[in-house]
Amino acid sequence: MYMSINIFIDNLSFRRILKKVFLNILILIIINIISCDSDESESLWYIVDSPVDNALYTIYALDRDEIFAAGYIESFVRYDGKEWYKLETPDLKYEYRGALFYDMFFINEKDGWSVGWGILESIGVRGIIAHWDGERWEDVTPEPYEEVYPLMCVFFPTPDEGWAGSEGGRLYHYIDGEWSLYH
């Protein structure tokens, strides 16, 4: 008798779980059907032509008509609501054998940041910070700067204060117009 009650309770619990799973699946199916009935350009993924052939590693959308993406140094692109176009390559402070950008963050269409790394003959890998001023990208990596790890992420909680993190676990702080190693 005791065992059959446990089986009944377990069976009842299983039925409740199964019912919840079934309802969640049904809701997802309904959402999918509704989204497929809407304008296709609003709801489906599709491939668009890129103005660059190199890899893109990061993308940031200010809104649906103002989107930036980056990857290898030659791969800074922008979408204006109609088409993607290539942006001028940032003027870098050093002649890197190769450089790429992993992350970007925009405060607005005239104030954006991107971080990554480049390879120098003298020290090897060196982190890079680039700034977008609404017209062009510029290398604003602080000097002297001996970061031997790639910079992987960047975020600005306010227009005047930002953070960048490296693969080596270091944090860089932007305040009062200056980047510095955070202690």
Residue 38 identity: S
Tens-digit pLDDT string for the chain (183 aa): 545 444 444 555 556 665 566 555 656 666 666 555 555 556 678 888 889 988 899 999 999 999 999 998 888 999 999 999 999 988 888 888 888 999 999 999 999 999 999 888 777 888 899 999 999 999 998 876 666 788 999 999 999 999 999 988 889 999 989 998 886
pLDDT value of residue 35: 55
Task: For residue 144, say if its preceding peptide bond is cis, omega within 30 degrees of 0.
Answer: yes
**Is residue 135 within 8 Å of residue 111, measured between CB atoms?**
no
| pLDDT computed for residue 87 by the predictor | 94
Helices (H) and strands (E) in the chain — how many of each?
A: 2, 12
Is the pTM higher than 0.75?
no
> What are phi and psi for residue 114, nearest 5 degrees?
-140, 145
Is 3.40.50.1370 the CATH classification of the domain at 56-181? no
**CA 2 – CA 32 distance, rounded (Å):** 45
Indicate the burial class of 138 (C-beta count within 10 angstroms; 0-12, 13-18, 19 or more): middle
